[in-house]
Structure 1
Amino acid sequence: MKKRNIEKGDLLKSNPLDGYWVCSIVLTHREKSESYSSGSHVAITNAVFDHDFDLSEIDTDNLEIIHTTNFEGYVVPCIEMYASKLVNGIEVIGQVSSEHFYKHALEFKIGRGHDGGWPSCGPLKKSLGHEAVHQWRSINDSEAWLKDIREAEKKHSEMIVRLNNGNRHTEDTSSSQSLWDRVRKKFNK
């Protein structure tokens, strides 16, 4: 029988971007109650693969939670809160003792990682772990990664122009450019 919900200690496999797979860890689990839906803290790890992987390829001794820079400029562990229901595109591939991966208490409080709370991301989704892919590519495939970012910037700018032409007014597209500058800064480690 296929598992329906994630649990504390589950190792999750996702395929957030074509050609890349990521392993994440479920750090906590909260059962459904009258006041709350079931939920979990999920940590994105440094285990990034350019092929579909299985549990035998995970080196748990070197598995670490990645850190990212939040929009306020703080470097924080990449931990997010999700609903506990398993969805298509996310697979449980094993179980570990999750306590040693993050030693601090985790509350189900919405925040930004530096303030005692964590991003609330709703249901699990296929994009789980995209941050790890960007970090991995910025180090191991930087030339192609930067090319992909430039292409995305170009497509985004073209879309803004099309939208502005369709709305018969023009807007300053510098705000979209600053978004890409923040993305580059966030993942360029």
Structure 2
Amino acid sequence: MKAFLLLLCVSTFWNLTFSVTVGVKVRRNDDQELQELKMEVMQLRLQQMKGKFCTVGLEDGRVKNHQIAAVSYWGNGFEPHQARLNAVKQASSYGAWASKYLHVGQWIRVDLQYPTYVTGVVTQGRPLESQQWVTSYKIAYGNTTSALQVLQRYGKDVTFQANRDAETKVANFFPTPVVAKHFWLLVQGWHNHISMRLEYLTCLN
């Protein structure tokens, strides 16, 4: 009788232990799967954020018209705020900024309103069959419009090679990222006329 009771107790203890162990194992699997799912969602959100905010916002309108200025422009439809990457010709716009004068140093400036981490710039020419684009430029930056410095490498101004046709987007990355409020693109060379579209980058790819 005692042997039977002892066997019954051992059997009951084993069953309880097995049940608790299985329960813990299942709970751990559930928690692990939940954590993995959360990580996947977080990574997806980060990828979406990166894709959305890899530019300062000229193309998508986060940079407003009044934040874009230029030393000159050709006339109505060629104002500085027309210089948004991938802009197209419309009823009131030729889809690009075009300078009034053709000489080295014509510039277009973007006011980002607060110091912003910028890694490079993308440019295009004037759309359609215009055959107008900027072939080279320098970049200047600063936190006020009266104090600017030209981007340099090894103590010399950097001249970036730009477009060779009207539609191809050409990206140039800075030697090192820059944090500043204002950015100037200083035209150094052009084809037929100084006309362009642009966007500043905040990522390295």
Q: TM-score, normalised by structure 2?
A: 0.24
Query: Larger Cα Rg: Structure 1 or Structure 2?
Result: 2
Q: TM-score, normalised by structure 1?
A: 0.26
Instruction: Please identify which structure carries the higher strand content.
Output: 2
